[in-house]
Amino acid sequence: MDLPVVDLRDGDAAERLDRACTEIGFFYVVGHGVDAALGTRLEDAARRFFALPEADKAQVSMAVGGRAWRGWFPLGGELTSGVPDGKEGYYFGAEEPPSHRPLHGPNVWPEAVPELRAAVLAWLDALTVLGHRLCDLLGVPPALVAEPTVLFRIFRYPPTEAGWGVAEHTDYGLLTILRQDDAGGLEVRLPSTGAWVEAPPVEGSFVCNVGDVLERLSGGRWRSTPHRVRNRGTTDRLSFPFFFDPSWDAPIPDAGGSAVDRWDGQDLYAIRGSYGDYLLAKVAKVFPDLAADLGS
């Protein structure tokens, strides 16, 4: 295994997290205190949802979620670097009243799988606590995540030998906290060599990674590392990425770094404005049809 494992119960957890973020930008977390039964409930409900007929799933589509940008999309309905992904998914966020602001508002819930609502909301609560804990250990300024932007996805990757479930990319924000099922398929590009290595499921763990904004916050010391997914197995792969990001109105933090060569040519230090504006521009590229409907 090439990725470090950090036990949050250890006294040197903060030091080990810092080293993992510096050397690779990916790590496993154990000793996190999240009840395993919550994850089992979530996975069971997600599998029941994805097994529904497409017409039933379409009742909670992204179009139904509207400005809140919540709901289901079909296989190939999301883009990475302009290319359709080989996955279907379901978008969630913090459960809120209707709002005029994009990416804020209520989730949409399937009548055919009522247990999904309770499972997702319990998961959001538990992972938000963990996100704060990890940011505390990393020394992220508390004001930056006083009211964190919380986004959650459930993805289904069917087996394939051709094409990527999701192609090479980095994540936009601070931290991604991922629960995997036992199918495998996640690959990480090691910064030291450029080699691609697998990040296989480890029982009782989360796979965490640094996002672009956290790399910028560190002045480039921590790594926002490219990763990709291909399910080469014989059964569907489910993944549960939770994104713990800055408060919507918080200015993009700047620790005074300078542009470095990145796989996508992006200059993280040229970004200006609030995190919300930055995130909205990013998400609009993932779902261009919805972005056009919102006038974004």
What's at 287, amino acid-wise? Answer: F
Range of 19's domain?
Answer: 5-51+86-96+110-270
Whether residue 281 lies inside any domain: the answer is: no
Domain tally, the chain: 1
Residue 286 lies in a domain: no
| Domain contains 120 | yes
Does residue 279 lie within any of the structural domains? Answer: no
Residue 72 maps to a domain? no
The 166-169 sheet, strands edge to edge: 166-169, 227-229, 186-189, 196-198
Q: What is the CATH number of the domain that holds 158?
A: 2.60.120.330
Ranges under pLDDT 70 in the chain: 1, 79-82, 257-260, 286-296
Q: Is residue 221 part of a domain?
A: yes
pLDDT digits (tens, 9 = 90+) for 145-193: 999 999 999 999 999 877 788 888 999 999 999 999 999 999 999 998 9
pLDDT number for residue 8: 98
Supply the pLDDT for residue 296. Answer: 43
Query: What is the spatial distance between Cα 105 and Cα 98, in angstroms, rounded to a whole number?
Result: 4
∠ CA 207-211-215, rounded to 5°: 125
Minimal CA–CA distance to 223: which of 268, 287, 270? 268
CA angle 157, 124, 3 (to 5 degrees): 55
